[in-house]
Amino acid sequence: MALGNAMVFKPSEVPPLGALKLAEIFVEASPPAGLFNVVQGRGAVGSALVTDARVAKVSLTGSVPTGQMVYAAAAAGVRHVTMELGGKSPLVVFDDASVEDAVGTAMLGNFYSAGQVCSNGTRVFVQKSINSKFLKSLAERAAKIRMGDPLDEATQMGPLVSAVQHDKVLGYIATARAEGATLVCGGSRAAPNTGYYVEPTVFADVTDSMTIAREEVFDPVMAVLDFDTDEEVIAQANDTEFGLAAGVFTADISRAHRVIAQLQAGTCWINAYNLTPVEAPFGGSKLSGVGRENVMRRCTTIHRSKAFMLAWVRSMRLTKYLVAFGKNDRGRPTGGWTDAGR
């Protein structure tokens, strides 16, 4: 909108109220009528928007299957597309890292917002020599998480978004048990009130082939895998169709950069996780998305460039050109004069 584009926002039909609150804020700011619009509805509404001839750019945050359908629909109209899709991101903890710091970050990267964050590091790889210590601390700290009403300031973890998601998560937990993962803590319904709560859950002895290590669940369930060497964990971390985010915990900054450089992920952190300042581009690789959000990378995807030159003869020997570029449909061209000998 800052670049002169009108926007139509269609939120998910499951949590629709946040978009309306945002619209209220914009109305209070008194923008031009029609600059920011909210349209509610299910998939058919989204399909109509994506294929509407008046829409020049589509940006989607959602699942991979939804992204594939939207991408195909947008391609039919040759529309610009940015997509931030699912993930099964790795968080790698080496044995020289601070275990308590790594545990705290793993909890943030799995249990914040009840695990309903696309970039969460739900595959936590812990070097074997510190795996037992890591799991012991994790179980103790996870058991102390206060669950309850998100509007209560004392609450540390709220409910899942719907009954459907709640049942889906419990199904994944049952599958993890059936496939041989070891339940460290949690694994059950929680009932601080009538919401759809699942306890902060940790599984150990997870292998790369298990469902819980391969599919995005969008839940407060952490899968802990162990490893021996740098090469081994890099291969394990990349063994996924997703590539949204990744994190590395180590006291060796050279190792951190070496490993991060080989991880197939669009957004990476060293000794931290899920920090997403607006100054940094955000997006994924592989099936986790197309394009980048935030900063100037984002502007290039919503800014329609137009170049033109105006020339006239001042003398027989000199021509001047006005070069304009970066012109938005509603904006004015920027540029400068260049001299060219004739």
Number of Cα atoms under 13 Å in the Cβ half of residue 195: 17
Q: Which of 88, 118, 185, 199 is catalytic?
A: 118
Task: Report the distance separating Cα 246 and Cα 78, nearest Å.
Answer: 32
List, in order, residues 6 or more apart from 39 with CB less than 8 Å away. 8, 9, 10, 45, 49
Active-site annotation holds for 185: no
List 84, 88, 185, 268, catalytic entry? 84
Annotated catalytic residue 133: no
Whether 10 sits among the annotated catalytic residues: the reply is: yes
Q: Which residue in 185, 216, 293, 327 is the catalytic one?
A: 216
Q: Which of 10, 185, 293, 327 is catalytic?
A: 10
Contact 225, 207 (CB under 8 A): yes
Q: What is the 3 state secondary structure string of the chain? A: CCCCCCEEECCCCCCCHHHHHHHHHHHHHCCCCCCEEECCCCHHHHHHHHCCCCCCEEEEECCHHHHHHHHHHHHHCCCEEEEECCCCCEEEECCCCCHHHHHHHHHHHHHHHHHCCCCCCCEEEEEHHHHHHHHHHHHHHHCCCCECCCCCCCCCECCCCCHHHHHHHHHHHHHHHHCCCEEEECCCEECCCCCCEECCEEEECCCCCCHHHHCCCCCCEEEEEEECCHHHHHHHHHCCCCCCEEEEECCCHHHHHHHHHHCCCCEEEECCCCCCCCCCCECCCHHHEECCECHHHHHHHHCCCCCEEEEEECCCCEEEEEEEECCCCCCCCEEEEEEEEC
Q: What's the alpha-carbon Rg for the chain, to the nearest Å?
A: 24
Catalytic residues: 10, 84, 118, 216
